[in-house]
Amino acid sequence: MPNLKILSTARKRTFNDAPKLSSNARHCYFLIDADTRKVINTLRTNINKVGFLMQRAYFQAKGRFFDESLFKHKDLRFAEKALGLKKPVDLAGYSMKSKTQHKNLILESFKWKAFRNRDHEDLAAHALLHVDKRKSSEDVLFALLDFCWASKVEIPSYDQFSNIVSDSFNQYENTILKRTKARLDEKMTDALLSLLSNTKNSVRFGDLKKIDQAHTQRALKKNAEILAYFRDIFFVIEPLLKELALTEEGTKYFADWVYKSSTRQITQLQNPIKQCLYLAAFVQDQFYLRQDYAVDAFLKVIRSTVNSAKGYDRKQKESMEKEEQLSSKSVLDSAKSSKQILKLALNISQDHSITYSQRNEQVINLIESYCNPPIYNRS
């Protein structure tokens, strides 16, 4: 089985490349203390002095050693300046023998050890612990990197890490396959393989990987039917799933292969036990996902209905409030008119320039006209 692709090409290049030092880091890592000065004074050539100082600085930054072709130009000039050299040094003559000697000197000065076969075994055992917890391949890689720093072991290359992580995942998968083979029966196998033909549900296998996010009645009904389909298969294979006892991360690890593969790729898988394992993880993942989605969709529909009801209630309330305002305005206008009529009636009754009979008639007419307003013909 080929190695896992743990990091992207760009991140892999960064992992293997010499460190990119900041100005502050450069001043710290290229600082020549008394002990370092003693070692440099034992080196005869400027090539070895610059090579040693470069390796020492980079080791402090990344815990490993690099070929001189990866040395950064800016760092080389800084190292030459720190050593008091007036001319640039060509490291073409930096021999393998000198590199090995410098590596051993640097490891000894920092109390680290070189990466050996036994360290490879320790990393493999440590990787299995993390894989057994179903961590992602990237998490496992950086756990191993952290283990090296804590153990003061020279950091291996990305490819070495990749080999260890991939072997650990393969070993873990083989263990799960053995459990699958021991528990899988004919009924479970038929239920899982029915996903690929799917004659019962009349939905393409590719569509089973996706959940319709719409909240229409048609979409909700379709999702409910597919959920019921996965539920039926889940209950058939439940004894197998209990035996495997996969965590969420473990389920995702095996199910991801199904998500990323076409129906043809799955059917062409040579190992039927592995085929059923991947499909079982896929069923478990889909069954749980669709249950969560069904609850979420139901809550959203309820929330939408409640919001619609609230909106209708708000409009009704606003309408009633408007009617009340109009009614209140009418009452106020009426009160205002009544006051004006009474004031006019009082003025007429107190007007002695006209006869009593005239005053009496005008007041009566005024009050009658207020109590019985005229009806206007609209035609």
Average pLDDT over residues 56-82: 95
* CA terminus-to-terminus distance, the chain: 96
Q: How many residues can be counted in the chain?
A: 379
What's the confidence (pLDDT) of residue 378? Answer: 45
The strand pairing partners of 153, in sequence order, are 113
| Least confident segment among 65-74, 265-274, 320-329, 351-360 | 320-329
pLDDT higher than 80, residue 29: yes
User: Within the chain, what is the greatest distance between any pair of CA atoms?
Assistant: 141
List, for residues 160-189, the tens digit of each pLDDT value.
999 999 999 889 889 999 999 999 999 999
Please give the structure tokens belonging to residue 79: 């190292």
Q: Please, what is the average pLDDT of the chain?
A: 83
List, for residues 305-329, the tens digit of each pLDDT value.
555 555 656 766 666 666 655 555 5
Q: How far is CA 96 from CA 102, 154, 209, 283, in A?
A: 10, 18, 54, 55
List, for residues 129-158, the tens digit of each pLDDT value.
888 776 788 999 999 999 999 999 999 999
For the chain, what percent of residues have pLDDT higher than 70? 75
pLDDT higher than 80, residue 196: yes
What's the confidence (pLDDT) of residue 292? Answer: 76
Q: What is the 3-state secondary structure (H, E, C) of the chain?
A: CCCCCCCCHHHHHHHHCCCCCCHHHHHHHCCCCHHHHHHHHHCCCHHHHHHHHHHHHHHHHHCCCCCHHHCCHHHHHHHHHHCCCCCCCCHHHCCHHHHHHHHHHHHHHHCCECCCHHHHHHHHHHHHHHHHCCCCHHHHHHHHHHHHHHHCECCCCHHHHHHHHHHHHHHHHHHHHHHHHHHCCHHHHHHHHHHHHCCCCCCCHHHHCCCCCCCCHHHHHHHHHHHHHHHHHHHHHHHHHHHHCCCHHHHHHHHHHHHHCCHHHHHCCCCHHHHHHHHHHHHHHHHHHHHHHHHHHHHHHHHHHHHHHHHHHHHHHHHHHHHHHHHHHHHHHHHHHHHHHHHHHHHHHCCCCCCHHHHHHHHHHHHHHHHCCCCCCCC
What's the confidence (pLDDT) of residue 377? Answer: 47
CA–CA gap between residue 77 and residue 71 (Å, rounded): 10
List, for residues 245-287, the tens digit of each pLDDT value.
888 878 888 888 888 888 888 888 889 999 999 999 999 998 8
What's the confidence (pLDDT) of residue 302? Answer: 53
145 vs 366, more confident: 145
CA–CA gap between residue 362 and residue 339 (Å, rounded): 17
